[in-house]
Structure 1
Amino acid sequence: MATKKRVFISFDYDNDEGAKTMLAGQAKLPDSPFDFKDASIKEHLTGDWKEKVKRRMDNIDVVVVLCGEKTHTAAGVSAELDIAKEKNKDYFLLAAYSDKTCTKPKSALSTDKVYKWTWDNLKALIGGGR
């Protein structure tokens, strides 16, 4: 089997932690193409939190941005996406819920699509299929 991709999950800590837990759990499935390595930091936007995120992103292959109903208001998610882009990390936006309106972080490009979260889609997206 190919080497598993190392994934950083960016998410709105205050509103979408349950979705992040479910996504991280999928990494444990036998046919998972990824290992969950790190996630958003629950800290106020002060001090060196951005430096911590930059260091965490040094050793990952792809950033999954979980998009929930209030992601457009989550400054931390927007900053994490900016860091991913600065580091030229592969990333994609994933709808955290199939039954809710999921919004993009403010730093997302207009061309960034929010993908539907299904197991087959997730495996393809992590493999670079977008």
Structure 2
Amino acid sequence: MMARHHRIFIAFAIEDKWARDRLVGQANNARTPFEWIDMSVKQPWETDWRNRCRTRIRGCDGMIAFVTRNTARASGQLFEIATARAERIPLIGMYATQDQRPYLLPPELAGISVLDWTWDNISRFLARL
């Protein structure tokens, strides 16, 4: 177990909510070698969502961005990724599925490591925060 609970924002396309839910479930499993506080947006905000989202991201130690075939056209997720980069929040991409890779990566992910979704990769990212 890690001594510190990092505040992590999980960026995902709405079609990939299942991946966020599964990752949060993994973090709550006693056998998982990592833990954190999930700061992702659980329900869409009706008003002023960009400013509210930016404020939440600023308060995080890092961001995990799920990458799937939906990412390149997920405007909300792309805004979240761009915001993390602008705010200098450490960011890692995780492939949520094994199909049709590599995906077309949008410019927001240029230069960002995109790795397979494994406990080791997540643990190494959290250890660097």
TM-score, normalised via structure 2 length? 0.83
How many equivalent residue pairs?
A: 126
| Stretch deviating more after TM superposition (111-120 or 71-80) | 111-120
The CA deviation at 1:97 is 1.0
C-alpha distance in structure 1 between counterparts of 2:34 and 2:5, whole Å: 5
Distance 1:42 1:95 in 2: 23
- Structure 2 residue aligned with 1:81: 81
> 1:68 aligns to what?
68
Q: Supply the distance in 2 between the matched residues of 1:11 and 1:68 (Cα, whole angstroms).
A: 9
Structure 2, unmatched stretches of 5+, are none
Large movers: runs of 4+ above 4 Å? none
User: What's 1:3 paired with?
Assistant: 4
Tell me the distance in 2 between the aligned counterparts of 1:5 and 1:32: 14
Whole-angstrom distance in 1 between the partners of 2:47 and 2:122: 34
TM-score (normalizing by structure 1): 0.82
Are the structure 2 counterparts of residues 63 and 123 from structure 1 closer, same or farther at C-alpha, using a change threshold of 3 Å?
Answer: same
Greater helix fraction, Structure 1 or Structure 2: 2
Distance 1:100 1:125 in 2: 25
Aligned to 1:114: 114
What does 1:80-99 align with in structure 2 at a 5 Å threshold? 80-99=80-99
Please tell me whether residue 17 in structure 1 is matched to residue 10 in structure 2.
no
Larger mean CA deviation between 119-128 and 32-41 belongs to: 32-41
